[in-house]
Amino acid sequence: MAICEHLLAAADPAPRTPDGCEECLAAGGQWVHLRRCLECGHIGCCDSSPQKHATRHFHETTHPVVQSYEPGELWRWCFVDSVLG
């Protein structure tokens, strides 16, 4: 299986809120795991978190690729093609 074009084109932006999920930090919410948008650096919480801000960010912006923002994890996910990279 070939890697998708979105994963190939993904950048490496600095995290906008390195201390946690941008929206959860602003609202006093909690998260389970974090994801970083590889287009703009948005840090959002995963789909196991109550608010699912990483997926919400994709639906609002169409930025296609996130990377795990957990220590020691390097995997990436393309929302458009449903491909792990």
Encode the chain (85 residues) as per-residue pLDDT tens digits.
567 999 999 999 999 999 999 999 999 999 999 999 999 999 999 999 999 999 999 999 999 999 999 999 999 999 999 999 9
The pLDDT value recorded for residue 3 is 79
Taking the model in full, what pTM does it have? 0.95
Q: Report the chain's C-alpha Rg in angstroms.
A: 12
The pLDDT value recorded for residue 2 is 64
Strand order from edge to edge, sheet including 34-37? 43-45, 34-37, 65-68, 76-78, 83-84
What CATH number should be reported for the domain whose range is 5-84? 3.30.40.10
